[in-house]
Structure formats: structure tokens, C-alpha cells
Structure 1
Amino acid sequence: FKELNLMTGGPGSDALEGPSKAAATNTEVPVPWTRFSAWLECVCVVTFDLELGQAIELVYPHDVKLTEKEKTSICYLSFPDSYSGCLGDTQFSFRLRQSVGRSSSWFGQEDVYNKDAPVTLQKEHAHLHGYVYFRQVKDASVKRGYFQKSLVVVSRLPFVNLFHSLLKVIAPEYFEKQEPCLETVCNEIEQWPAPVPGQTLNLPVMGVVMQVRRFWMVKLFSKPFLNPFSLSNADNLLPAPTVLPSVHELDLFKCFQSVLIHVQMLWELMLLGEPVVVMAPSPTVSSETVLTLVSTIAPLHYCGDYRPYFTIHDSEFKEYTTRTQAPPNVILGVTNPFFIKTFQCWPHIIRLGDLKMSGDLPKQVKVKKLAKLKTLDTKTGIYTAYKTFLHKDKALIKQLLKGIQKKRPSEVQSTILRRHLLEQTQSFILPLERYLESLMPPQRSMSPWKTPPQIRSFSQDEFMKTLEQAGPQLNLKGDWTGLYRRFFRSPNFDGWYRFRHREMTQKVECLHLEAICAADLLTWTKDKSEVEIVDLILKLREKLATRKHQLPVKEELLERLEQSIQTIISSLPEDLQTLLHRQ
């Protein structure tokens, strides 16, 4: 499992060091919005129009190319459902599928951020995340009697904490000062450094600096007089910062207060990529619950689809609600009671309400049969026939409930719960990782004169036999074998295996390239024909050209190989040397 590693660049980082040159005039012209696009796609303002309904009032920067389908989706997803009754200020998030055919990057630059970012924090290319700050207040000057508007930050990064913190700073100011304020904010974001896992970044906006530490912690503090890019020498002059747990992790304990006794079931449903509907009283509860559910199997990447807030206007509504086929592997967060009838064929429905207390403890929702889910019923519960493979960890539940009685801070409770889930996921994945290692060809089989050896195929039955000696080390009883067999049929296994197989293939290629770099190529050519030698040179050049920028091979080894190639070329007749130097 990768920890957050240092990176040396980010999307568009090369462009930041030196502006690109215009071909026609040869004058230096900076590429606009390069740094901005490393963080955000755009900022949208969605308002309520009496004739059109929800409509986009403004997109900034103005030259962002959103498709009409994306604009429509953003409009509907940026307002709470009328059943939610959200008055005042509300924050929530959504996720939508990018339109087919639209480029995932404005500038087509190689996305170096994803190269080193943990898989759960990587920038998405097929989906967009929307982070919403919605305000609804009474306003006699408006015909409808209410001011209704949303400020929406659209990004490919799953940084829910960071962008909601950003909105808390900029949205109230925007609702007062309108577009000039938004232009200022976007220009400030254009000055931010690129997102770099492992480094501390200072992100100034509207008199506030958000300090991101190693992508785990975020500080907010005011900077009335300081240069935002030289804070390291002046931290002692700043007021005490407000610290958020991370850029992406929500308060796990707060979201799960009413389902603590069912954490094991929820973890298994996420691990297996089961279709789940979360019915919540507001888009805030809906989106936070869905995002928290997805995070329960970290550091394993959730490979199914998930929609923190889903409406009947969504372009995938028909796709997800058809009764002619089994429900897809997706988690949907909804608030409209209409969905109770629509999703009655789904196998797992989590119905949440406002948190209720039983004495000094939060009242826990019950597991109920799907047949008991009535259209007009408002009772909370987890409606499913699912039986867990593993037993509940009663010690964990007891520890968390005792923590509530002792008024233990929610952050500490979340840390306890997250650590438990992390250990459980790691214990589950570790035997699979060990088995994968056994599929790698031995290093001694790497020959510079032969093609790289193949990685052995994954055999489920062979893996199952390894569990007797090297099974999960977690002291949690249950049917681990049954859980693995079910996992093999899930999108999460498919996604995990594809990702790890790609890494293993790169490692084999890297070891093979290192073997070539270390070989005595000149001695090998002594008894070879000119045709064989030229063929070797061409193959080595092709391998160097296609692999040296993609594989972590030491630079001195590559230089040695380059020198060997030049030495071999020098040993050939002059006409061949001339021909090869032209290649």
C-alpha cells in the first residue's frame, strides 16, 4: 500500500517555469489558466429563473467548454430537491459523467499528478466533481419571494474538504459582490502552486490562506499583511489555524452515528461493489454518506460508479432505474421520496433520517426486509437480505459507544473507526498481494538477450489454497473464503487486479531494461553478423525511446547503455555508421 510520496511536478508545471513560444512571432506568450486548471475545471453560478427553472448564470473562466448536457446536469445537481426544504446556507457535492468526446484536459498536457498520487486521490478523467454552496433566503424584492442561488466549484479532484472550505470563504462574499469577486478569486487560484502530494502548499484566497500539509491536513488562517508565499518564516505571527483532518476525508463517525452496529455490513457491501441506494433527508446527508461509504475500503480504490447526489433529471436516470436488468454496481444518494418506488427492486437501501437519541446514545437504525419498504413510509432502516460473511467486531462497537458516553471528540472517534477499517481492508488485501508477488518471474530469469519473461496468470483456486498458510491476520471470525470468492466477481477486484498487473508489467520491463543496461553488449557482438548487430541497435534505441521516460531506471544505467550503443556503432563500417547516425 502506497503512502503519499513526494512529487516533483504537477499538471502544467513545465509551463509555469517557462512560457511557451508562439510559432509565428517567436515571442513568449504565457498559456492562460494553466495553474487554475491543475485544481479546477471552472466555477459556475446557478440561479432559479421563473421561466427556465434552474439555469447557469455564469461560468468562469468564460472560455471553458462545457457541453450542453454537462451544463444541464450541473443545473439540476446544484439545487436541493424541493422535498429537502433547505433554508439558509447548504453545502453538498455531486459527481457526473463527462460527456463523450470532450477532452479531459484543456491543454492536452500529460497529467503527471496521477503518476505519484495515491489511487484514491487521483484526478478523474471520465467524471467531474461538483462542490456546491447553495443559499436560499427570503427576499421580498424577488418575484418568487426567495433568493435562490448556488456557487459551484467543478473539479476532477476528489478533495471534498478542501473545496468546501474554499466555498465557505468565497461564497458569502460572492453573493454580496457578484462577478468581480469571482474574477478575483479565479485569478488568485491561477497563482496557486500545482497540487503535489507529500509537500506543504500555501493556497491564498480572499485574505485567507489554506495550508495543505502533505494532503492530509488543511489549515485555514487569515493573512492581513503577509506574503502568502513566504509563510514558513512567519508562522509564529499568524493566529491559531483551524485544522481540517485532510483534503478529502469526511467525519466518518459523524456520518455513521446511526449505523455503528452495521459497520461490518457496510464495509462488505462496499468491498463487493454491491448496488446501494442511500435515501437521506437532505443533499448534505446524502452526499456525505455516499462519499464516506466509498472511503471505508481505502486504500483499496472503489471501482464502481457512485453519485453523492442523484436526481430524477440526471442523464443516467433511465440507465440506473430500468427493471429489465439487474441494478448496476453503483451507489446513489437521493432525497426525493419518488425513488422509494423506483428503487424497490434494488437489493440494498439505506434509509436515513434526522439523528435521534436513545438516552445519551444515538439511536441505531435496524436491518429490515425489503418487502417492508413502503412508498409513504418514513421509517429509517437498512433494507436488505444481505448476510455478512464476517462477524461484527463487538469490541469496536463497545469502544465507540463508550466514547460517546465519555464525550470523546468526534475526530478521535473517527480516527478509531477509520483505523479499524483500514486494518481490515489491509488484512483482506495482503494475502492477495503476497500471491501476486509469487506470480512475478524470478529476477535471475531476466536475460538481456531474450524477451522479458511472462507474469503467471492469476488462479483463484491456487490463491484459495494459499489462505491456509497465509490468510488474513485480523482476529475476526467468519467465512473469509466465501468473502474472497464473492470479491472475485466484483468490479473492485477487476479494478485492483488491472492496476496491480499494470504495475507488475512495468516492473518486469524495468528489470529487463536494467539487465540490458548492465550487459556487456560489445563482447556479445564479436561473433555476430552486421545484420544482427544493426537489428540489436535498432531494438535498443526503440526500447530506450519508449521506456526511459516511463520506467524508474537509474539515469547512469541509461547513459551507460547509450554509450554502449555508440561504441558498437563505432565498430561497424563507415557506411553503416553514417546510416545509423542518421536514424
Structure 2
Amino acid sequence: MGVVMKVRIPTCHDKPGTTQIVQLTQQVLIGYIKKYFYCASPFRCFCPVFLHSQMLWELVLLGEPLVVMAPSPSESSETVLALVNSNFIICMIRIIIKIFMLLPAGEIPKQVKVKKLKNLKTLDSKPGVYTSYKPYLNRDEEIIKQLQKGVQQKRPSEAQSVILRRYFLELTQSFIIPLERYVASLMPLQKSISPWKSPPQLRQFLPEEFMKTLEKTGPQLTSRIKGDWIGLYRHFLKSPNFDGWFKTRRKEMTQKLEALHLEALCEEDLLLWIQKHTEVETVDLVLKLKNKLLQADREHLPVKPDTMEKLRTHIDAIILALPEDLQGILLKTGMT
């Protein structure tokens, strides 16, 4: 609900003031959360509507509004977990156009048809998918036949879930690879990075330019599914999920540029540089290098430890080459 809560669950070994116990408690909590996420069974959750599970994938991918209704809170929660599980999809659920209910566990329900949203009059409506959404992609009959065969052969739900997870992971990868490839092309060439200039900026993401790349390097290279992939991408680019995904990728690439800029600085002969510049320029360089170190630590830039150490050595050498009064001032401005 937009609020982050931090909790600490006491254990039988809990003793206040001991770091070891705090770490143990965190491990227990993290282990419990991971186990719960792993136990979410997509096939058991989607069993009444697995014919439409590919449409669920599209809705979650596009960040469309979604409501889950089930006989119990536990089944409802598990269904949500199955939808947002990292093995199932990369995005998050948001708000109400589709409702489906689960039947009691252990039954093999009859598959239901998609029903128009206007037909939903009460919360007691029969189990099913109620939506006005029209999928962009054609339904994959091959995966449906595989799951139906599994039901007929009484294949365990866990095995069915493995098949479903793998299928949607591959589908997600087919969708995201063209985006990753295009975003990578926005990165400036490494040879354009100069140690004496600010790191270059990423090129702008241009939707129409990206669309043109799909003809030769689109999802058709890795996925057998047909349909309106272009329409799906256009919808995704306007969704909040794309905005969140691209902000994360842009931050990662910007940090990579900063790291490459640091490496370029380390490869320069800075002592030779200061011989050709004034003391004021040298002091300014030291302050900039110190800020670079602080930034790398604060933003967790992907910089190799030996690069950081090499830069510290450069800073120390430059300071020692300056008059003693300047050395004292610079040493007080922060750790090198």
C-alpha cells in the first residue's frame, strides 16, 4: 500500500545487544520470505483459468489494473505472489478490470471462458476471467496442450508450475531482449570518454527508432508466438512499468559511465599533468578526485577495488607534490 515496514521477529535464541542474533533473525526472516515466494504455485493458482494465463502475463507486463478474488485470503495472496514472482514476470500488479476466483484446492476445475466486464454484477459471480481487455498476442496452443496433457496424466502441480514458470520466463525474455539491445545502443562509445571532461550523456530513448529495430531483431527471433507484438510494445512504452524499468536501466548505465570515467582518470599520468598547470588548478583537481571517490562509495558505482586504491594513491602523490601549507588544507578536506 505504498508503505515500507521494517520488522524484527524475535527467536528462541534472541539476546538483546548481540549483532550475531540480529543477523540470525534477519536470516530467518529472509529465508521465510524466500520460501514463501518459492512455494507460490502458478499452476495451482491459475488452474481454473490456465487457458488465459498468457493474457494474465500481458496484463501484468503492461501494468493494467487487476483484482484477484478467491475463497480465502491465503489463496488470494498466493495468486498475487505467483503473478509477481520473478520467475513468472518482471513487473508489478496495479489496480480493476479483471477478476477471477479460485476453486478449492485439490479439484480439477472446468476451464472458464473470458467474460465481458459488464457481466460482473455481484461479488458472488462464478469463477472466471472478467475483462474488457483484448490480448495482443495469439494464444499459444502448444503450451495449453502440454498443460492439459499434464492434467489428464495427473502430473503433480509442482511439475506443471515448473513448465508454466519456464514458459513465461522465456516469453518475458523474448519480449525484453529487443528492449535491452536497443537501450544498450544508447550507451556512448568508450573511446568518447575523456578523463578531462564530464562523462558523456546517454542518448535519448526514441520509441519510433526502437520500433524500427523490431523488424530485424524483434521477439520473432526467439518466440514462436504470433500476434501484434508492435501493439504490445507501444502499449508497454506508455505504461508505468516501462517507466520504472527504464529508470533503473538508465541509472545502471549512468553509473557505468561514471565508473569508466574513473578508470580513465586512473590511467592518466596526473603528476605530469600538474607540472603543466597552476597550483589553483591542481587543488581543484584534488577536490574533484575526492568527490569522485565519495560518489563512487555513496552510489555504489561498479568500480574495481584496485581502481579505487589507485585513485587514492594518485591523490596522495599530488598532495605531497604541493607546498606544505596546501598539503595541510587538502588533508583536512576529507580522507584520501
TM over 0.5: yes
1:578 to 294, 316, 328: 328
Deviation at 1:296, TM superposition (A): 7.2
SS in 2 for 1:437: helix
Match of 1:522 among 271, 292, 295: 271
2:175 corresponds in structure 1 to: 428
The answer to whether the 8 Å contact 1:351/1:381 transfers is yes
Tell me the TM-score normalized by structure 2. 0.87
Rounded Cα–Cα distance in structure 1 between residues aligned with 2:74 and 2:332: 63
2:21 to 163, 176, 191: 191
Tell me: CA distance 1:462–1:376, structure 2 relative to 1, closer, same or farther (3 Å): closer
Mark the CA change 1:188 to 1:363 in structure 2 (over 3 Å): closer, same or farther.
Answer: farther
1:557 aligns with 2:307: yes
Deviation at 1:195, TM superposition (A): 8.6
Report deviation, 1:249. 4.4
The aligned counterpart of 1:262 is 52
Partner SS state of residue 99, structure 2: strand
Q: Give secondary structure in 1 for the equivalent of 2:274.
A: helix
Give the Cα–Cα distance (whole angstroms) in 2 for the partners of residues 295 and 211 of structure 1: 15
1:496 maps to which residue?
245
Counterpart for residue 455 of structure 1: 202
Residue 142 of structure 2, aligned match among 395, 398, 410: 395
**Partner Cα separation in structure 1 for residue 24 and residue 230 of structure 2:** 44
Distance 2:118 2:313 in 1: 74
Q: Which whole-Å CA distance do the structure 2 matches of 1:539 and 1:431 have between them? A: 38
Aligned partner of 1:566 in structure 2 is 316
Alignment-derived partner of residue 155 in structure 2? 408
* Aligned match for 1:378, one of 114, 125, 130: 125
Q: Counterpart of 2:79 in structure 1: which amino acid?
A: T
Q: Does 1:280 align with 2:106?
A: no
2:215 corresponds, among 435, 453, 468, to 468
- Provide the residue aligned with 2:294 in structure 1: 545
Partner of 2:282: 533
1:294 is aligned, of 84, 88, 105, to: 84
What does residue 324 of structure 1 align with?
A: none
Look up the equivalent residue of 1:379 and give its one-letter code: K
User: Greater strand share, 1 or 2?
Assistant: 1
Aligned length: 327
CA distance in 1, matches of 2:24, 2:254: 29
d(CA) in 2 for partners of 1:464, 1:562 = 45
Secondary structure, counterpart of 1:441 in structure 2: coil
Listed as ranges, the gaps of 5+ residues in structure 1 are 1-95, 99-125, 129-153, 156-181, 204-209, 219-245, 305-328, 331-345
Distance across 1 between alignment mates of 2:318 and 2:46? 66
More helix by share: 2
CA change 1:421–1:382 in 2 (3 A) is same
* In 2: Cα distance, 1:538 partner to 1:296 partner: 43
* Contact 1:270 1:296 (8 Å CA) reproduced: no
For residue 576 of structure 1, what is the amino acid of its counterpart? L
Measured in 1, the distance between the counterparts of 2:256 and 2:124 equals 55
CA 1:414 to 1:508, structure 2 compared with 1: closer, same or farther past 3 Å?
Answer: same
**Distance verdict in 2 for CA 1:369–1:477, change over 3 Å:** same
Q: Percent identity?
A: 52
Give the Å deviation of 1:291: 1.9
- Structure 1 length normalisation: TM-score? 0.52
Partner SS, residue 21 of structure 2: coil
How much has 1:568 moved relative to structure 2? 2.0
Shift of 1:561: 1.9
Deviations 1:376-412 (A, max 9, x none): 7532221112111011111111111111111212111
SS of aligned partner of 2:100? strand
Q: Cα 1:263–1:127, aligned 2, differ >3 Å: closer, same or farther?
A: farther
Rounded to whole Å, the distance in 2 between the matches of 1:476 and 1:188 is 56
Deviations 1:464-511 (A, max 9, x none): 011111101211100000000101121211111111111111111111
> How far apart are the structure 1 equivalents of 2:10 and 2:24?
20
CA deviation string 1:147-170 (max 9, x = no partner): xxxxxxx67xxxxxxxxxxxxxxx
User: Shift of residue 286 of structure 1?
Assistant: 1.6
Query: Does the CA contact (< 8 Å) of 1:356 and 1:363 recur in 2?
Result: no
Code of the residue aligned with 1:413 in structure 2: it is Q
CA deviation after TM superposition for structure 1 residue 263, in Å:
0.8
Secondary structure of the structure 2 residue equivalent to 1:450: coil
Aligned match of 1:484 in 233, 239, 245? Answer: 233
Q: In the aligned structure 1, how far is the partner of 2:231 from the partner of 2:87?
A: 18
Q: What is the CA-CA distance between 1:297 and the residue it aligns to? A: 7.1
Partner residue in 2 for 1:349: 99
2:130 is paired with a residue whose SS is: strand
Q: Deviations over 1:352-384 (max 9, x none)?
A: 444696xxx531122111222222753222111
Larger displacement relative to structure 2 (418-427 or 370-379) = 370-379
Query: What is the DSSP-based 3-state SS (H/G/I as helix, E as strand, rest coil) of the residue aligned with 2:155?
Result: coil
Letter in 2 for 1:484: Y
User: Contact 2:61/2:89 (CA < 8 Å) preserved in 1?
Assistant: no
| Mapped partners of 2:38, 2:207: distance in 1 | 34
Q: Which has the higher contact order (CA 8 A, sep 6+)?
A: 2
CA distance in 1, matches of 2:30, 2:239: 38
C-alpha displacement of 1:555:
2.2
Name the amino acid aligned to 1:462. Answer: E
Conserved? CA contact 1:347–1:384, under 8 Å: yes
SS at match of 2:14: helix
Structure 2 CA distance for partners of 1:578 and 1:377, relative to 1, 3 Å: closer
Residue 192 of structure 1: CA displacement? 6.7
Partners of 2:104 and 2:159 lie apart in 1 by: 23
Which AA in structure 1 matches 2:14? N
Match of 1:510? 259
Q: Distance in 2 between matches of 1:526 and 1:253?
A: 70
Structure 1 position 300, deviation (Å):
1.4
What do the CA deviations read for 1:27-85 (whole angstroms, capped 9, x no partner)? xxxxxxxxxxxxxxxxxxxxxxxxxxxxxxxxxxxxxxxxxxxxxxxxxxxxxxxxxxx
What residue identity is the alignment partner of 1:423? E
